[in-house]
């Protein structure tokens, strides 16, 4: 009996020491105490007690004496590690080392410091930024519609282009000292989000110069002369920039670009100068067809060794005026009917002086690192913002439509099948906007969160795709008939562009998120790799030894934490004081997921080694777990930041529960497909000792979320901020807003009519030739409603009729695309080749 008790105490002690990541001396003291008790109480056979004591001493001495440990253990393992570690190219190394490790490192730690997350300052706008968002952005939104931009102008109208330049939209990220607006990353994100609720074309046109391109590259790497010359011109719109990276045979694998330059002497402005003879062929270049300043990436070779003893100098970035002889600006691409300027460009043996290299000659060969470091931040702003904006439009407009559109005498938003789609839309948007805002806040704190940016890009664009698809399902025929009245069809057609650019989503998920995350976010893996690059044997040995045994402790600790939190349901995980009580359990459950991710990652890397890089499905699932942890963290931070709005809680609950259920599925997916089945069985027992505890969010919770989308409320406004809502009579979103308000006001009147019909005092059936006006008159005459209510009923039906209207065209659908009638226009309006709505827009 006492022996059993001793074994239980020993097991609990080992788990406790591992759980808290106790130091080696604590382990030695605990083992000595346990063996001493066993010796004194005669709990174990003498031979076993002596054997365990001897083993403990043999292990303790080298483990507690680093120099001895290195000689006996680490150095031999280090030699073996160097042999089996797969080679890493320079571009791979630069991609992995680009950016900074931030909250993603905590999520990989097995015990995230939630205080760190909750102590981050809430992102805010300055008075100047808020004024710009409220006035300049609204004015720009009011100048465009997607239909006219796409089908009439095939571009932004000239006056819109001028407005964008004059108001500084192209220089938001450029500091004021260079003539720009000097906005924060959060302000930049807010502007792009709001513009995207109105027009994808104007959003992309503004987004690209403020993202990865000449402006950002100059800010970080340009010479002072380059900055003084170009940044003021870019800020004022005197130069339109583009950046050419993608080649026909180098898309996602951009580092393998075939575009090249040779170092040579040449003539420039009448002088013989050292420069580069550049040949390139690029495509998919946004703003390329209208750009005046071309940012270009290419690989530099020095066959004559004019710059040193190396021939392949690496990827380099340069700025070339598009008016420069030899620059060929191609025609336009048409990316899924979107009309933002995009097209190919090329050049053959175009000579440029050395000082056109961004940063000058010293930056030759450093272009890939420059691109990766800028992308680490930029990828977390542009596409997350534009896709959140499109989703805001979808949620607000579709939610309103679902309330005013009736079938079977019921608002379609109250059907459970439609509720299911609305629930996903609302919950996903709440989480998307939380992740967008948190990522922008990180950039403003000086971070360049490469892994987090990849997570934000992939998951926000994927959730936006789901949101837009759900919206199209809800609005049905309204969504598939194109025309000025269609508020969602353009986003539906063009959204795959976001899935494709800045790292195609398939590769972002399967290669980048976890491929970078496993090395950058893990506290020891990168240190072990760096030790192999150390040329001094003594320093390399010491560095590897420290990383290796830290890594061992990390694995043991996360094994214990995963098992213990699984057995206890994570109920005893410590949570910071002061968190919202209704969210407390999520902090505990996410800590369990963090430990499981860290443990499973080390098991995967330890058993698969370099082969894990090729096991893309496993890598993608591990990345899904890390991503879910980040998205849930962002959601919790948002709930706290916005003052724990009780009315918004269903959105947070649904989003987090859905993400945890998906993370559980990803864990199971890794374990079920693990090549070594014995290890898989052991890992499953550790990760899910009591089975899989998470289920999909309940239908009751989904009903609460859907309800929030179909009625005017402060929650609906918070969820869809910042959104531009037009006031024009014929604007489809404005029509939905007016019809929604009228429908809510009319519902008590409808209830009176139904009660009267049930009592037999009023017939709701319309006689031949009767309309709702006649019904309202009969109801008023019968005393069921008063005259004001009768007018309200008639006005509501008229507003709803405008909402459900779809556009039609002349039979040829060709030039007569312009002949669609604006709502309320007489048929005679089609006599003009351009309808009244176009005349108004062009005025």
Catalytic residues: 502
CA distance 823 to 732: 10
Helix ranges (H only) for 720-786 are 732-759, 772-781
Helix ranges (H only) for 642-731 are 649-672, 677-687, 699-709, 714-719
CA distance 243 to 223: 18
Residues 6+ apart with CB under 8 A from 175: 182, 219, 231
- Phi and psi for 662 in degrees, rounded to 5? -70, -35
Q: Are 657 and 649 in contact (CB under 8 A)?
A: no
Burial of 533 (0-12, 13-18, 19+ CB in 10 A): exposed
DSSP state of 313: E
349, containing H or E segment: strand 342-353
Burial of 207 (0-12, 13-18, 19+ CB in 10 A): buried
CA distance 613 to 605: 9
Query: Which residue carries 């027992």 as its tokens?
Result: 685
* CA angle (812, 818, 824) in 5-degree steps: 115
Instruction: Please state the separation of Cα 580 from the chain's center in Å.
Output: 25
CA distance 542 to 561: 28
* Distances, alpha carbon 820 to alpha carbons 148, 154, 366, 485, in Å: 11, 17, 54, 10
Q: What is the dihedral of CA 525, 528, 534, 540, to 10 degrees?
A: 160
Q: Where does 259-341 show beta strands of DSSP type E? A: 260-268, 271-286, 293-301, 312-321, 328-329
CA distance 342 to 538: 55
- In this structure, the number of other CB atoms found within 10 A of the CB of residue 830 comes to 15
3-state secondary structure string, 55-77?
HHHHHHHHHHCHHHHHHHHHHHH
* CA angle (562, 598, 55) in 5-degree steps: 70
Query: What tokens does 93 get?
Result: 């190394």
Q: Are 388 and 429 in contact (CB under 8 A)?
A: yes
Q: Are 142 and 726 in contact (CB under 8 A)?
A: yes
* Distances, alpha carbon 115 to alpha carbons 108, 446, 587, 598, in Å: 16, 19, 11, 20
Of the candidates 442, 495, 455, the residue with the CA atom closest to the CA atom of residue 472? 495
Are β-strands 260-268 and 271-286 bridged in parallel, bridged antiparallel, or unpaired?
antiparallel
551, containing H or E segment: helix 537-568
């Amino acid at each position: 009996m006492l022996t059993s008790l001793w074994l239980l105490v020993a097991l609990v002690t080992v788990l406790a020491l591992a759980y808290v990541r106790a130091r080696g001396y604590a382990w030695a003291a605990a083992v000595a105490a346990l063996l001493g008790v066993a010796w004194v109480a005669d709990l174990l056979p003498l031979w076993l007690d002596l054997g365990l004591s001897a083993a403990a001493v043999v292990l303790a001495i080298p483990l507690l004496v680093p120099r001895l440990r290195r000689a006996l253990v680490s150095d031999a393992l280090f030699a073996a590690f160097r042999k089996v570690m797969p080679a890493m190219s320079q571009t791979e190394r630069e991609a992995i080392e680009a950016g900074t490790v931030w909250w993603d490192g905590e999520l990989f730690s097995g015990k995230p410091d939630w205080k760190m997350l909750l102590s981050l300052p809430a992102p805010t706008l300055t008075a100047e930024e808020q004024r710009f968002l409220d006035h300049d952005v609204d004015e720009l939104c009011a100048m465009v519609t997607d239909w006219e931009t796409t089908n009439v102008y095939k571009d932004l109208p000239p006056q819109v282009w001028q407005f964008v330049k004059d108001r500084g939209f192209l220089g938001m990220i450029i500091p004021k000292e260079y003539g720009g607006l000097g906005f924060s990353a959060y302000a930049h994100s807010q502007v792009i989000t709001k513009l995207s609720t109105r027009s994808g074309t104007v959003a992309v046109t503004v987004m690209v110069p403020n993202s990865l391109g000449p402006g950002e590259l100059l800010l970080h790497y340009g010479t002072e002369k380059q900055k003084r010359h170009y940044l003021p011109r870019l800020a004022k719109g005197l130069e339109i920039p583009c950046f050419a990276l993608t080649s026909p045979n180098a898309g996602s694998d951009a580092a393998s670009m075939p575009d090249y330059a040779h170092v040579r002497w040449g003539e420039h402005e009448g002088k013989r100068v050292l420069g580069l003879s550049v040949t390139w062929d690029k495509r998919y270049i946004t703003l390329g067809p209208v750009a005046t300043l071309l940012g270009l990436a290419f690989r530099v070779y020095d066959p004559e060794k004019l710059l040193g003893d190396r021939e392949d100098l690496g990827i380099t970035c340069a700025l070339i005026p598009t008016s420069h002889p030899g620059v060929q600006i191609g025609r336009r691409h048409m990316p899924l009917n979107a009309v933002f300027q995009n097209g190919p460009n090329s050049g053959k043996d175009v000579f440029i002086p050395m000082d056109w290299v961004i940063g000058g000659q010293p930056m030759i060969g450093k272009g890939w690192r420059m691109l990766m470091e800028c992308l680490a931040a930029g990828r977390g702003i542009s596409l997350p913002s534009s896709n959140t904006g499109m989703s805001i439009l979808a949620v607000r407009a579709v939610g309103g439509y679902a309330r005013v559109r009736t079938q079977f005498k019921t608002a379609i938003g109250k059907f459970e099948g439609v509720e299911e789609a609305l629930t996903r839309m609302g919950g996903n948007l709440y989480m998307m906007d939380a992740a967008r805002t948190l990522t922008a806040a990180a950039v403003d704190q000086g971070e360049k969160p490469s892994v987090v940016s990849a997570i934000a890009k992939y998951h926000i664009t994927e959730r936006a795709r789901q949101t837009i698809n759900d919206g199209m399902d809800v609005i049905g025929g309204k969504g598939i008939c194109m025309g000025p009245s269609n508020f969602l069809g353009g986003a539906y057609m063009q959204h795959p562009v976001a899935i494709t650019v800045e790292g195609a989503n398939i590769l972002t998920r399967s290669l980048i998120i976890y491929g970078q995350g496993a090395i950058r976010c893990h506290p020891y893996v990168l240190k072990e790799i760096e030790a192999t690059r150390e040329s001094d044997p003594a320093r390399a040995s010491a560095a590897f030894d420290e990383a290796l045994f830290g890594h061992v402790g990390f694995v043991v600790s996360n094994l214990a934490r995963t098992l213990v939190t699984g057995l206890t349901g994570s109920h005893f995980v410590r949570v910071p004081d002061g968190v919202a009580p209704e969210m407390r359990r999520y902090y505990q459950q996410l800590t369990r997921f963090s430990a499981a991710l860290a443990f499973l990652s080390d098991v995967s890397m330890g058993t698969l080694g370099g082969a894990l890089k090729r096991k893309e499905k496993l890598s993608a699932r591990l990345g899904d777990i890390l991503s879910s942890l980040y998205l849930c963290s962002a959601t919790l931070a948002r709930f706290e930041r916005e003052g724990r709005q009780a009315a918004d809680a269903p959105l947070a609950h649904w989003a987090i529960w859905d993400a945890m259920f998906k993370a559980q599925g990803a864990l199971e997916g890794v374990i079920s497909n693990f090549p070594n089945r014995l290890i898989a069985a052991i890992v499953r027992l550790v990760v899910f000792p009591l089975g899989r505890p998470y289920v999909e969010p309940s239908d009751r919770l989904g009903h609460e979320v859907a309800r929030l989308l179909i009625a005017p409320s402060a929650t609906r406004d918070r969820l869809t901020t910042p959104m531009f809502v037009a006031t024009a009579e014929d604007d489809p979103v404005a029509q939905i807003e007016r019809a929604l308000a009228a429908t809510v006001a009319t519902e008590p009147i409808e209830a009176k009519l139904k009660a009267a019909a049930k009592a037999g005092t009023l017939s709701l059936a319309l006689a031949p030739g009767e309309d709702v006006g006649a019904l309202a008159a009969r109801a008023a005459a019968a005393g069921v409603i008063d005259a004001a209510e009768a007018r309200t009923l008639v006005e509501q039906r008229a507003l709803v009729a405008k909402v459900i209207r779809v556009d039609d065209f002349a039979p040829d659908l060709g030039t007569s695309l312009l002949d669609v009638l604006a709502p309320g226009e007489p048929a005679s309006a089609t006599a003009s080749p351009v309808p009244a709505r176009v005349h108004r827009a062009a005025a």
